[in-house]
Structure formats: structure tokens, C-alpha cells
Amino acid sequence: MLRFLFSRLALIVPTFFGITLVAFIFPRILRGDPVLLLAGERGVSPERYAQLQHQFGFDRPLLVQYLEYVWRLLHGDLGQSIATKNPVLHDFAALFPATLELSLFAILFAVILGIPAGILAAVRRGSIFDQLAMSTALAGYSMPIFWWGLLLVIVFSNTLHWTPIDSRIDVMFYFPTVTGFMTVDALLSGQPGAFGSALSHLILPTIVLGTIPLAVIARQTRSAMLEVLSEDYVRTARAKGLPPRRVIGLHALRNAMVPVVTTIGLQVGVLLTGAILTEYIFSWPGIGKWMLDSISERDYPVVQGGLVLIAGLVMLVNITVDVLYGLIDPRIRHA
């Protein structure tokens, strides 16, 4: 058990160094001198140029620069944003709750619809519902979500005027940030209508971000259920005369959920990719939009720091899922 745990945790180290290496190399292979880019259109004097070079450490050997970079990272120093002058970590912490809130809603949406749909499709295999649900799931999986978002805006915001178009809440509401979750903060503020406003702003982004995970979860649940339903112990349970509800809900579902839970865990990377596009469409002030803006504004410290934080997050979640899976299922552990 411990050996399994350590073997998985040991993978973190090289991956972490790989991630930092990517973030470290990125601004150094860009076309153009980063110092001149920083200086902007006015340019700099040769003295100031040398001074800046020294300040950023560009005049030292690459290996030294890299080690220093990692050293600072490990001490929580991810540099400073050129645009906001804030430490990158500070901006990340301020914007991350918006992405997290949206992602949680999206995964909830996907699980609540996807698991029942998958179970029903498996139980009624070959039925019209099964065929319809699985075709819809494959269509959802094939969805260009940036277009899906625009389409929903056309229908529900521009035509029907049911939902707002962008941002997290109406501008008329203002209250202090407590948790960073707009829905929770709105409730805490006690302002009438604030919670409803926050929720209505979440609807379309949640659907857009949740579509692909929904499709993946529905498909995965169906195939896991089908596999389990053909097992001997399910046949035994049926032969014993247990009601179908109990056979499916208790005997089959529990075992079928193991791969499904793993799938849900592995959606984090997908969610973050989706969040970039979703936040772009709905002007959602989260880390996806933050990264996009920083890339287009050439705010390289932010891009660097964001890369490390986001990739680190994905890596940690994946390894946690992996370890948990190993804990639940001994076959994985000893493979």
C-alpha cells in the first residue's frame, strides 16, 4: 500500500520540474526581447536596459536563472503582474473562486443529468431512450462549446430575454467578497434579489461548461452499468428474486460507480480547458479569462505563474484521483 502511494507521489517531482521548465522557458524563447517588450514603445536607454536585464536576472547563466526561479516558486513567489502590479498569486487567489464556482456548478449539472441518463440507457439498452440519449451524448461530446455558448446567448438572452449575457451578477448589486463564490456571498449579503441575480448569471455558463462532461459521464455510466449488469452476482441477485430497483440501485450501481467517479475526477483538465472558452464568451472574471487576457496583453509573469498554478492543480487532482482509485480497487494498486 505504502509502496503504491510513494510510487505515485514520486511522479509528482519530475512532472513538477517539467511544468516549471515549460513556464521558465516560455518567455525566453518568445520572439523579441522581454525587457524591450516591458519597456513598451518609448524604448529604454542602454544603461536602463542593462539595469533591467540585471534586475530580471537575464544576465546570469540559464541554469542559475532556472534554479532561482524554482527556488522562488517553492517559496510562493510567482512574480508580479505587469498589468495590475499585484503578485501573481494574489490575482490568482482573487479570480480562482469564480472559476471554481462555475466549475462546481458545471460538474454538478453534468453528474445530476449524466448518471441517471446513463443508468436508464443501460437498463433499457436498445430502447428509443437509449438510442436518443447516446446520440445526444455523442453530439454533446462533439460540441464546439464556444459556438454552443453563442447559440444559447442568441436564444435565451437576445431573443427570449430570460438570462443575462455576461459577468457574474447585475451591476446594481454590490457587497463585500467573503468566500469569492458569488452565490454564497449574495446570500450572506442579505440583499433581496442578489442571490437570484447571481444564479441567473450562472445558468448559461454552467450549461456550456457542463456539456462535454455531461456527455462523457453519461456514456461512461452506461458502459460501466452494462458491464456490471452482465456479472454473475447481478444475475444471482435477480435470481434471488430481489426487485429490479434494488438490484440496479444497490448491487450494480455501487460497482459501476468506481470508473465513473474516476472519470469525473479526470474531467478537471477538460473543465479548465472549457473554462477558458466559456469565460471568454461570457466575460466571466475567472482564471481562464485572466490567462487569455494576459496572453494577449503579453503580461508574461502572469502567463508563467498561471501555467505553473493551473498545471500544478491538474496534476494534483489527477494524482489524487489515481491514488483514491488505488485505495478503492486493489487490482489497480498491484498492477
Residue ranges that bind other proteins, judged by CB under 8 A:
11, 14-15, 18-19, 21-22, 26, 29-31, 125-126, 135, 138-139, 141-144, 146-148, 150-151, 153-154, 158, 219, 222-223, 226, 269-270, 272-273, 276-277, 280, 291-292, 295, 303, 307, 310-312, 314-315, 318
Q: Is 78 in a helix, a strand, or coil?
A: coil
C-alpha cell of residue 166: 455576461
For residue 114, the minimal CB distance to other proteins (Å) is: 15
CB count within 10 Å of CB 323 equals 16
Nearer to other proteins, 175 or 312 (CB): 312
We find the least distance from the C-beta atom of residue 49 to other proteins, in angstroms, to be 23
Q: Which is nearer to other proteins, 76 or 126 (CB)?
A: 126
Question: H helices of the chain, where?
Answer: 2-10, 12-28, 34-39, 46-56, 62-74, 88-123, 128-141, 145-152, 182-189, 194-229, 232-239, 244-246, 253-265, 267-282, 287-296, 300-328, 330-333
The least CB distance from residue 87 to other proteins, in Å, is 21
Minimum separation from the CB atom of position 43 to other proteins (A):
23
Nearer residue to other proteins within complex by CB, 2 or 29: 29
3-state secondary structure at position 192:
coil
- C-alpha torsion sign, points 199, 137, 133, 238: negative
* Rounded least distance, CB 244 to other proteins, Å: 19
In terms of Cα–Cα distance, which of 224, 226, 231 is closest to 263?
224
> How far apart are CB 310 and other proteins at their closest, in Å?
7
Q: How many CB atoms lie within 10 A of CB 57?
A: 12
Nearer Cβ to other proteins, position 93 or 317? 317
Contact criterion met (CB below 8 Å) for 205 and 282: yes
Q: How far is the CB of 4 from other proteins (least distance, A)?
A: 18
If the CB atoms of residues 175 and 231 are measured against other proteins, the closer one turns out to be 231
> 143 or 203, CB closer to other proteins?
143
Closer residue to other proteins, CB minimum distance, 78 or 291: 291
The closest of 95, 92, 71 to 80, measured between CA atoms, is 92
Residue 326's SS3 state is helix
